[in-house]
Amino acid sequence: MFRVDEVRTLRQALILRKMRNECSLYMTNETAQISRFRQCLFYIDNILGARDNYKCYLAYLGNQPIGYGLIRLDSSMITGGIVRRKRGFGHGESLFVFLTSKARELTGSSFLEVKEKNLRAIRLYKKLGYVTFGRKEGVLVMTTRYPHKHR
Residues 104-118 have pLDDT tens digits of 999 988 999 999 999
Is 34 among the domain residues? yes
Is 95 among the domain residues? yes
How many CA atoms are closer than 13 Å to the CA of 92, on its beta-carbon side? 21
Is 36 among the domain residues? yes
As a whole number of angstroms, the distance between CA 151 and CA 149 comes to 6
As a whole number of angstroms, the distance between CA 81 and CA 19 comes to 8
Contacts of 110 (CB under 8 A, 6+ apart): 71, 76, 77, 78, 99, 100, 103, 104, 143, 144
Higher pLDDT, 34 or 137: 137
As a whole number of angstroms, the distance between CA 54 and CA 73 comes to 6
Domain range for 93 is: 2-107
Is 55 among the domain residues? yes
CATH of the domain at 95: 3.40.630.30
Is 48 among the domain residues? yes
Sheet with 77-82: strands ordered across: 2-6, 54-61, 64-72, 77-82, 111-115, 139-143, 131-136
As a whole number of angstroms, the distance between CA 109 and CA 87 comes to 26
- Stretch 37-52: mean pLDDT: 68
As a whole number of angstroms, the distance between CA 37 and CA 131 comes to 37
Question: For residue 148, what pLDDT band results from cuts at 50, 70 and 90?
Answer: very low
Secondary structure class of 26 (helix, strand, coil): helix
Is 135 among the domain residues? no
Is 118 among the domain residues? no
Query: In whole numbers, what is the pLDDT of the chain averaged over residues?
Result: 85
Is 77 among the domain residues? yes
pLDDT in the model for residue 150: 39
> Quick check: 47 and 54 in contact, CB under 8 A?
yes
Work out how many domains the chain is built from and give that number.
Answer: 1
Look up residue 25 and give its amino acid.
L
